[in-house]
Structure 1
């Protein structure tokens, strides 16, 4: 079973994402956060949407996911935020050790 994972979430733009990213890193719920500009296509409240968004990848430990999810739900501006956990089956030992060092102990 994997000990690490990546949490995916989206924001309208960098300005909206930055304070939340800072809160997550300060809380030591993730070791690293990356941003990728994307185009999202979905149906919301019976309306077809095509929006520019920012995909945010949060590198963390599986044991921290419940706290990270709770924090994102509390502070995320979206009514129904994308919050997905993806298992990391393997990775370099040095990088995974760095994630351990940068995140809080349970």
Structure 2
């Protein structure tokens, strides 16, 4: 079982994402966070939505996930934010060591 993962969440735009990203990095809950522009399609409160969003990929250790999830729920502006942990089954030793170092385990 992998001890690393990628947490996915979304925001309306980069401006909305930036303060949350900064807090996560400052608190050593992730080694790296990337933003990707996407189009999301879903139903929310019985309304069909088609929204431009920013998908945020948070590289971290599973051990810090509970604290990361708590921080996201505390800071995220969405009523019900997407917070999904995806296993990172494999990775280069150097990169995984860097994740350890950046998330307080190095």
Q: Normalized against structure 2, the TM-score is what?
A: 0.98
**Which position in structure 1 is the counterpart of 2:78?**
78
* 1:98 alignment partner, SS class: helix
Match of 1:21 in 2: 21
Structure-2 residue corresponding to 1:37: 37
Superposition misfits of 4+ residues, deviation over 3 angstroms? none
- Aligned-residue Cα RMSD (Å) equals 0.5
Partner of 1:60: 60
CA distance in 1, matches of 2:64, 2:98: 15
The aligned residue for residue 100 of structure 1 is 100
CA shift at 1:24, angstroms?
0.2
What TM-score, normalized by structure 1, do the two folds share? Answer: 0.98
Q: How many residues align?
A: 105
Shift of 1:56: 0.1
Q: Determine the C-alpha separation between the residues in 2 that align with 1:82 and 1:92.
A: 28
Is the partner of 1:82 in helix, strand or coil?
coil
Which SS does the other structure have where 2:29 is aligned?
Answer: coil
**Gap runs ≥5 in structure 1:** none
